[in-house]
């Protein structure tokens, strides 16, 4: 059961509701934060997230695939027909199938489908008035997809591509995700990501299980079993960042493809 959205979310919720009545935007709890220096100064929250928080992730075309097994999503199912930089509607199939359990691929080593922001650039926080950086991203503030402008979404520090260990650490967690129509471009040393380009919108789900993708290539990442959640209530509740998401050394190392029975517990912090 999720907490009632707090007052800073009203602007973001209103924007999403105007675009699509099945959309939503997140809220937060304690706003304490620590400044981190880097290529793009970021805010990394020092506050532990509430147990009811959903983890905020970015999914790309390696996770939500059209006309591909096992789901055979159509263009319309995943909003491919209305994709845009500022698209924040709930993907149609997900809006119509709350409670359904399906499998999603999580990509290949070096071409991952699940990505975890671990901090938020200061520029995101000042880009809009939705109540925080992630809220502004979900509300498609100017520079974050709004007004056909995504110049604040390039070379983002702290976005970690999730391989087998990372996705498995999130078993049992609720997720709110922004889904991009293309691939997240990841650079290493230092680890940064480009989140630019068209988006399909948002989805929400429980990450139920992961299993090794046997019979595919030697770099295939696990299948991820999800249970679809209502995106408005999930993304409209408190959101968390996956603070200790594993950081790969390179596009090929580690070749972390096998699901292990024991993985570290996730550290979840309030999304600034």
180-193 pLDDT, tens per residue? 999 999 999 899 99
Q: Give the pLDDT of residue 21.
A: 34
Per the domain annotation, does 116 fall within a domain? Answer: yes
pLDDT tens column, 203-235: 999 999 999 999 779 999 999 999 999 999 999
Per the domain annotation, does 135 fall within a domain? Answer: yes
- Interior angle at CA 52, CA 142 and CA 174, nearest 5: 70
SS3 (DSSP) at 234:
helix
Whether the predicted pLDDT of 169 surpasses 60: yes
Domain boundaries, position 164: 7-270
Cβ neighbors of 251 (< 8 A, separation 6 or more) are: 109, 110, 186, 188
Per the domain annotation, does 31 fall within a domain? Answer: yes
- Interior angle at CA 177, CA 137 and CA 121, nearest 5: 35
Q: Give the pLDDT of residue 34.
A: 28
Tell me the CA distances in angstroms from 57 to 67, 214, 241, 253, one per residue in order.
23, 25, 8, 22
Q: Give the pLDDT of residue 65.
A: 94
pLDDT tens column, 83-124: 999 999 999 999 999 999 999 999 999 999 999 999 999 999
For the chain, state the CA radius of gyration: 17
Binned at pLDDT 50, 70 and 90, residue 42 comes out as confident
Percent of the chain residues topping a pLDDT of 90: 79
Per the domain annotation, does 234 fall within a domain? Answer: yes
Burial degree of 98 (CB within 10 A; 0-12, 13-18, 19+): middle
Tell me what the mean pLDDT of segment 36-63 comes to. 82
pTM: 0.85
Per the domain annotation, does 93 fall within a domain? Answer: yes
Closest Cα partner for 144 from 104, 199, 94?
A: 199
Per the domain annotation, does 2 fall within a domain? Answer: no
Q: Give the pLDDT of residue 40.
A: 56
Tell me what the mean pLDDT of segment 123-132 comes to. 94
- Interior angle at CA 8, CA 195 and CA 6, nearest 5: 110
SS3 (DSSP) at 181:
coil
- Cα–Cα distance measured from residue 150 to residue 145, given in angstroms and rounded to the nearest whole number: 5
Per the domain annotation, does 1 fall within a domain? Answer: no
Whether the predicted pLDDT of 16 surpasses 50: no
Instruction: Write out the DSSP string of 109-145.
Output: TTEESEEEE-SEEHHHHTS-SSSSHHHHHHTT-BTTT
Q: Give the pLDDT of residue 168.
A: 98
Binned at pLDDT 50, 70 and 90, residue 44 comes out as confident
Number of domains in the chain: 1
Per the domain annotation, does 230 fall within a domain? Answer: yes
């Amino acid at each position: 059961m999720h907490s009632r959205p707090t007052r800073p979310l009203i602007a973001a919720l209103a924007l999403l509701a105007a675009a699509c009545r099945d959309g939503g935007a997140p809220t937060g709890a304690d706003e304490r934060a620590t400044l981190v220096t880097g290529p793009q100064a970021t805010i990394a929250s020092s506050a532990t997230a509430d147990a009811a928080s959903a983890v905020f992730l970015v999914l790309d075309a390696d996770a939500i695939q059209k006309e591909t097994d096992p789901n055979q999503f159509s263009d319309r199912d995943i909003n491919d027909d209305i994709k845009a930089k500022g698209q924040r509607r709930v993907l149609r199939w997900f809006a119509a199938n709350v409670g359904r359990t399906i499998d999603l691929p999580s990509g290949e080593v070096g071409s991952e489908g699940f990505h975890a922001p671990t901090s938020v650039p200061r520029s995101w926080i000042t880009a809009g008035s939705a109540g925080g950086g992630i809220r502004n991203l979900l509300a498609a503030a100017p520079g974050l997809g709004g007004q056909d402008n995504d110049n604040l979404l390039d070379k983002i520090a702290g976005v970690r591509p999730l391989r087998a260990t990372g996705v498995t650490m999130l078993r049992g967690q609720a997720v709110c995700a922004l889904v991009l129509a293309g691939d997240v471009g990841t650079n290493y040393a230092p680890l940064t990501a480009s989140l630019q380009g068209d988006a399909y919108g948002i989805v929400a789900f429980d990450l139920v299980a992961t299993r090794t993708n046997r019979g595919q290539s030697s770099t295939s990442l696990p299948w991820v079993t999800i249970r679809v959640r209502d995106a408005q209530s999930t993304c409209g509740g408190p959101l968390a960042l996956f603070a200790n998401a594993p950081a790969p050394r390179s596009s090929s190392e580690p070749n972390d493809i096998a699901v292990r029975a024991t993985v570290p517990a996730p550290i979840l912090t309030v999304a600034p």
